[in-house]
Chains A and B, each alone.
Chain A
Amino acid sequence: MGIFSRIKKGFSKTREALSEKMGAVFKPGRKIDDELLAELEEVLLSSDVGWETTDELLSRLKDAAKEDRGKTEPEELMRQVIASLLGEAEAATEPADNNEKPRVILVVGVNGTGKTTTIGKLAHYYRQQNKNVMLVAGDTFRAAAIEQLKIWAERTGCQMVSSMHGADAAAVVYDGFESAINRGMDYLIADTAGRLHTKSNLMKELEKVARVLKKKRETAPHEVLLVLDATTGQNGLVQAKEFTRAIPITGLVLTKIDGTAKGGILLSISRTLNVPVKFVGFGEGLDDLAVFDADTFAAGLLGDKETLESS
């Protein structure tokens, strides 16, 4: 299955109900008038976009409509507006240096968002590209977190470096880095304990992890992925802001889009922080990860059946 048909699968579970609702908003031939805007507002707000970003999207839509002079269907226009807002973040980030080995990917986020599972899927994703991947069990706090990651390492045929429960997270990740260098790995993916962004000691711990990696190599970590649960509401923006303050986030991963939540808070994050979304997770299996595609996401948000099916 290709990437897009897989992400489509993720969205499709809830598509029916939603597109029924959206069908009314986007009947072909509808004009962008107050009524349509009100209905759209409802859809966006119900998807956790938040009212500030909703206001902004709708005003952008009005501007776009003025320029477009009715050539494009409102639905298509709305999708473009959403995708372009996401694209702005993409454009703002510089392409990272791809050649260095191993590339260190640090995976962070609040409790229970799907970090460890995403690491399993990512490992699988790179293994399928015949890359050598090593995992490092940087969550030394939660009960059985190491065992959990170990199972993913076995499933994906990756090596794993770990220490004991309660060990210093930065030290474990550092060990993992050395070992990945020595064994010529292409990727080192580090799990970290879930932490609320309000806990300053835990955020400091994260800074320390980044610091020890930097000590070894200035360029590491090459990627810091913030994992965000699609069910998250407005707190998602606060999370993204606070994690960014502790450690430079290079990308977002949106998980659990196989549920009914749309993950609209991504739009507020993109708008405020210029962090691109890199992957989406849509299940608990190895294959349930796809590279993020703004257009598909926008279509999912708007419950647009056709675009999802054709992508």
Chain B
Amino acid sequence: MFDELTQKLDKVFRRLRGMGILSETNIHNALRDVRRVLLESDVNLKVARDFLARVQERAVGQEVIGSVSPAQQVIKIIFDEMVELLGGESARLLVSPRPPTVYMVVGLQGSGKTTFCAKLGLHLKTKGRRPLLVAADLQRPAAQEQLEILAESIGVTVFREKANRAPDACEAAMDYARRNSLDPVIIDTAGRLHIDQVLMAELEEIQQRLSPAEILFVADSMTGQDAVNSAKAFYDKLQFSGAILTKLDGDARGGAALSIRAVTQQPIKFISTGEKLDALEVFHPSRMASRILGKGDVVSLVEKAQEAIDQEEAEKLEQKLRKREFDFEDFLSQLRQLKKMGPLAGMLEMIPGMAGRLKDVKVDEGALRRIEAIILSMTLEERRNPKVLNGSRRRRIARGSGTRVQDINRLVEQYQQMRRMLKNFKGGGPGMLRRMMKAP
């Protein structure tokens, strides 16, 4: 499928080669084919339309980079845009200031709520918590037994009561959790249709009575166009704080992920990849994007494009280095590349003599952010000509970036080291870089 798309795009763009700039008509034609791919992957029609409009906006007028085909370049834009729309990759769950923290799990029938509750219970148990699973599905036959059996298999306490109403059962579960110092409380609710007003009101009641730290919306990755309707209705009613995508062990493309993000703006916190209770994973936007666009092919393609782009920049950098022009601006752009691509794909890899040496460098995201903040607090002059950084300038930068003067000193020192090192490419090494990465 994806090869096919690339070929199509190549055809559309063939005439463009050597023209220098991606034009509106060209892109428009190309994106028609992309739309089909998105639809085939179950991205909602309207979501796809908005998405492609954004891609178009970003692509029009871009310079054609000599060494990449325009098709590849557009695909890279599509990919980047999708990763961005899919959001960050945090599976962090909020915790209430006053225990027990409540996680309320909601969704349509058969989406995988009960299984996910048990998985979450296991996940939190291995992190040293003492969760309580609450069997609040009083609707589906043997739903409570199902949760009970799953809970037992992972050694987690389950609360089950023959209450008449789910909100009452949940309230009773809270008492039970407090008395037994169980925390967090994970509530498995009955599956329901988003248009079922009575049952939706019941969820709202649970929400009001328990004030959950998180409401998690569980959606089946095989869902098609309707994902926007259910997600939006659940979101409008409950303002859920995160989504879970299930059954990704199958071969559905999972366009629903994009649809759900687009209509609710809420992060996808976990993905579920099997019936076994340890099959719970952190959501990776770039993996999801390549899945939606057609699995592995696109990754290699994007990488190829990226490489080519990096190569060009690396060459520019090399020239700068030759002329000893490397300054904090370049430093910053390098950092951003590193942040974007992870430790292995960094631009430094491209520099002759450096390739292959960065494999075990772990990028400390926090340190990168601090460095970035420091550089951003510098004036343009300071970035271009670090020699002017005297004591009072350093104090100002420290204040501006929320760091200490020592941090600035260290960074300047490292910058100078790096400059020396890069001057004769073979002089540096991974150790050097690792030190740089970890600081300040």
Contact = CB atoms under 8 A, between A and B. Distances in A.
Contacts of A111: 110, 112, 247, 275
A261 B226 contact: yes
Interface stretch (A208-216, A226-234, A289-297): A226-234
Interface stretch (A26-34, A73-81, A140-148, A245-253): A140-148
Contacts of B255: 233
A112 interface: yes
Contacts of A287: none
Contacts of A264: 224
B115 to A, nearest CB: 9
B230 A260 contact: yes
A311 to B, nearest CB: 21
Nearest to A48: B224
A46 B142 contact: no
B275 A198 contact: no
Chain A binding site: helix, strand, loop or mixed by DSSP?
loop
B109 A144 contact: no
Contacts, number: 145
Interface stretch (B9-17, B37-45, B340-348): B37-45
Contacts of B195: 13-14, 259-260
Contact of A114 (B42, B44, B109, B145): B109
Given A51-B39, A259-B193, A147 B142 contact: yes
B183 interface: no
Nearest to A111: B247
Interface in B28-59: 36, 39-42, 44-45
A234 B38 CA distance: 11
A197 B256 CA distance: 19
B416 interface: no
Nearest to A120: B141
Contacts of B149: 143-144
B213 interface: no
Interface string A106-129: 000011111000001000000000
Contacts of B224: 48, 231-236, 261, 264-265
Interface in A133-152: 141-145, 147-148, 150-152
Contacts of B148: 144
Identify the interface centre among B140, B141, B145, B256: most chain A CB within 10 Å of its CB: B141
Interface residues of A, number: 48
Contact of A234 (B41, B141, B249): B41
Interface string A234-276: 1110110000000000000000101111101100000000000
B251 interface: yes
Nearest to B221: A235
B146 interface: yes
Contact of B247 (A114, A196, A234, A259): A196
B389 to A, nearest CB: 57
A256 B196 CA distance: 12
A259 B110 contact: no
A236 B253 CA distance: 12
A182 B425 CA distance: 85
B193 A152 contact: no
Interface string B205-221: 00000000000000010
**Interface residue range, chain B:** 35 or more
A302 to B, nearest CB: 15
A6 B25 CA distance: 50
Nearest to A239: B222
Given A14-B195, A45-B39, A260-B226, A231 B142 contact: no
A115 B405 CA distance: 66
Contacts of B73: none
A114 B247 CA distance: 15
Contacts of A231: 108, 220, 222-224, 226-227, 230
B139 interface: yes
B253 A234 contact: yes
A23 to B, nearest CB: 19
B72 interface: no
Interface string B388-402: 000000000000000
Interface in B223-241: 223-227, 229-230
B146 A256 contact: no
Given A111-B275, A233-B255, A284 B146 contact: no
Given A51-B40, A233-B252, A238-B251, A259 B141 contact: no
A13 B255 CA distance: 26
A46 B153 CA distance: 41
Ranked nearest first, the 5 interchain pairs of A and B with the lowest CB-CB distance are A233-B224, A112-B110, A233-B42, A261-B226, A144-B146
Interface of B: 36, 39-42, 44-45, 108-112, 139-143, 145-150, 153, 193-195, 220, 222-227, 229-230, 247, 249-253, 255-256, 275
8 contacts: A14-B195, A110-B247, A110-B250, A145-B142, A196-B247, A234-B253, A264-B224, A284-B109
Given A143-B150, A238-B251, 17 more contacts: A46-B225, A110-B250, A112-B220, A112-B247, A142-B146, A143-B145, A143-B146, A145-B142, A147-B141, A147-B142, A148-B140, A152-B141, A234-B253, A235-B252, A260-B229, A261-B226, A261-B229
